[in-house]
Copies of this chain bind each other. A is one copy, B any other.
Amino acid sequence: MTNSYLEHMANDIQVARQQATFPIEELTKVLYGGELILHVVTKLRAIMDKEPLLDRAQMNYMSREQMLHHSLLVHKRLVQLVDEEDLSDLEFQGLVLLSELLSPLGLHYSAFIPVLQSQGTDEQVAKWVEPAKKLAIMGCYAQTELGHGSNVQGLRTTATLDTNTDEFIIHSPDLTAAKWWIGGLGLASTHCVLQAQLMIDGKNYGPHIFVVPVRSPVDLKPLKGVTVGDIGPKAYGGFATVDNGFALFDHVRIPRDNMLMRFAQVTRDGQYIRPVHDKLSYGSMVKLRVGMVADAGIKLGKAATIAIRYGTVRRQFHDTSAKGGSDKKKDALEQQVISYSSVKHRLFPLVAVAYALLFAGQSVSQDFEKMTKQLLKQDASMLPEMHITTCSLKVWCTRRSTDGQEECRKAMGGHGYSIFSGVGQLFATAVPSNTYEGDNYVLCQQVGRALLKQLDGIAHGVKVESSNSSYLNLLLADTPHTPYTFVNANHDILDPKVQANVFGLRAARLVADLAQQLKSGRPWSDVNIECWNICFAHAEYNLVRQFNERVAIVSAQNPALVKPMTQLANLVSIDHAFAFTDRELTSALGSYDGRAYERLWEAVQKNPLNNPAGRKEIDAVLFELLHNGDNLTISSKL
């Protein structure tokens, strides 16, 4: 049951791709950060495409219980693939990432093991990490509490040293101290690395990290003194496959050796030994935010790919400017939705944002690697700068990416609201990134504070060295405040130097204004929104700068990419450079072949509700109503 419209859909998307005026594969390499990485990704994609378990579309009709179960089966399969395909640790990580496997074991790998590795002594690493890799134990990272998220210093769980038994006593003094939101804790974890206030002889040394067993690896029953469980469903059905959990501790005893002691130590006789540098343990927080930048770019890229593909094959309304009588119009195809100015206006800039986030993610990852090497030598000089940069990028990228994903969904019209658009699930799972790893509004205040400190240096004639905040130097007396007289604004604004100056001057002025306001007596608690604006301005300065730097490098290497990258035109092809597979997009409407309506029809046929056996209870109530009184006599005539 086809018609010319349906046939045209598959054709339209081919035609759009053929219009590319540049080598798409070259652009894909740039987006993935080089040929080597793309090669690995391509290999892993080929492996995964053979695995029917990895088709996320089958989860669309599952209950939360079924989804959790399914995600564990997928995890088991990925572990098997490591042996079958002889994959490295790094390739296994790639597999987890590309499969978008959020399972009760996700944070075991991304938080439990890394915290053990970075915060444990060599002996502690040897003791815990290998068993964890074998899944002899399963773990999570327990920081947030019911009553304390942003304010880590305010955590209420205590770890009190008992020198008599050489143990710590882990205790939750009240309900607000319950660990909450901890991924992996709800169902799977046998152990956690736990943030608790270190108490020795009645003195509080602040939050430290302890390895605490919570469930028996034999039968997963909670250990004595531990109340533990799953905190229930999340908004929008997001993170359904993660068992975010809670835990309360009632005087639970652990050996003193279970405190992770790479930086701070507690001796057998109860002496506290401070870390060499206060902030050496902050590296792992920075790492989490580094990863969020590129991830936001990938998710937005997926949403934009789906929306642009669907807009290319979807047609609605006849072009009113078309020639010919009304009869001719009725026969002709309607207008491609992607050609509407409102659709272009909304979707095309989002592709540019996705590119900018991927490039910024690559830059910030390189900086992070450099910092990590320095930190191992106890050199923390890069930390303050990296902290501002990652905070401001985290805020900007999570907000713009999630707003953008929802805009993509809306731009798909009515069908965007179907689960089969695939965009809803992206947003549902991405949107809490605005709040986790530091609430965006809280992080903005940290960025504001740090930039004010740098501005203070400038007031004393000290230039800012770091390239990320060097725009503040524009405020120095010897730098002209208005760097350009625009000769041709439309043209000049495309010049990378002008862009850097415009964005830099804006950010600098906002910081200077804030300093002025505080000086004239406005309290800090009153200027949250000013900090928000500064944070965005700081991030945008760096995003624009890094984007332009990347364009310059790529252009030198591959002249054919100059035009598409600077113009971000030829959108379907630009979009196609993301090279997402159908499995990765899990979208009927954004399928590679453009057959959006046929794919949607196929997806709907799998609905268990369309089988009478799947709706017996529902039908029973309907029958009661329809057969009530003499209803059947009445309806038999209609």
Contact = CB atoms under 8 A, between A and B. Distances in A.
Contacts of A187: 609, 615, 618-619, 622
Interface stretch (A39-47, A128-136, A481-489): A128-136
B72 A220 contact: no
A90 interface: no
A613 to B, nearest CB: 11
Given A600-B146, A622-B72, A234 B418 contact: yes
Given A432-B417, A618-B68, A131 B235 contact: no
Contacts of A460: none
Interface in A606-638: 607-610, 614-615, 617-619, 621-629, 631-632, 634-636, 638
B410 A233 contact: no
A127 B217 contact: no
Q: What band does the interface of chain A fall in when counting residues whose beta carbon is under 8 Å from B?
A: 35 or more
A135 B149 CA distance: 51
A141 to B, nearest CB: 15
A614 B406 CA distance: 34
A604 to B, nearest CB: 5
Contacts of A414: 144, 149, 181, 432, 435-436, 439
Given A150-B316, A235-B416, 10 more contacts: A5-B147, A75-B625, A187-B622, A217-B636, A229-B607, A231-B418, A235-B419, A235-B421, A417-B431, A417-B435
Most buried by B among A230, A345, A417: A417
Most buried by B among A246, A427, A615: A615
Interface in A406-434: 406, 409-410, 413-414, 416-421, 423-425, 427-428, 431-432, 434
A247 to B, nearest CB: 12
A598 B409 contact: no
Interface stretch (A169-177, A289-297, A370-378, A574-582): A169-177
10 contacts: A6-B175, A149-B414, A154-B334, A190-B626, A232-B607, A234-B424, A341-B527, A343-B528, A345-B529, A413-B435
A6 B427 CA distance: 33
Interface stretch (A17-25, A57-65, A273-281, A492-500): A57-65
Give the number of times this chain occurs in the complex, counting copies. Answer: 2
Most buried by B among A136, A149, A444, A628: A136
A307 B98 CA distance: 36
Contact of A622 (B63, B188, B232, B632): B188
Contact of A615 (B65, B238, B418, B604): B65
B621 A72 contact: yes
Contact of A601 (B69, B136, B137, B175): B175
Which 3 A-B pairs give the minimum distances between C-beta atoms? A235-B424, A342-B528, A136-B631
A526 interface: yes
B232 A149 contact: no
Given A60-B233, A175-B598, A316 B149 contact: yes
Contact of A618 (B69, B136, B409, B440): B69
A68 B131 CA distance: 45
A321 B523 contact: yes
A317 interface: yes
Contact of A220 (B75, B421, B623): B623
A635 B75 CA distance: 20
Interface in A1-50: 1-3, 5-6
Interface string A184-220: 0011101100000000000000000000010001111
A146 B188 contact: no
Contact of A341 (B69, B104, B315, B525): B525
Interface of A: 1-3, 5-6, 60-61, 63-65, 68-69, 72-73, 75-76, 79, 104, 127-128, 131, 134-138, 144, 146-151, 154, 173-176, 178, 181, 186-188, 190-191, 213, 217-220, 229-238, 243, 246, 315-317, 319-321, 334-335, 339-343, 345, 406, 409-410, 413-414, 416-421, 423-425, 427-428, 431-432, 434-436, 439-441, 444, 523-529, 532, 597-598, 600-601, 603-604, 607-610, 614-615, 617-619, 621-629, 631-632, 634-636, 638
Contacts of A231: 418, 604, 607
Nearest to A146: B597
A493 B187 CA distance: 57
Nearest to A211: B638
A140 to B, nearest CB: 13
Contacts of A188: 622
A63 B608 CA distance: 12
B532 A229 contact: no
B5 A72 contact: no
Given A174-B1, A213-B638, A528-B345, A419 B622 contact: no
Most buried by B among A414, A527, A617, A636: A414
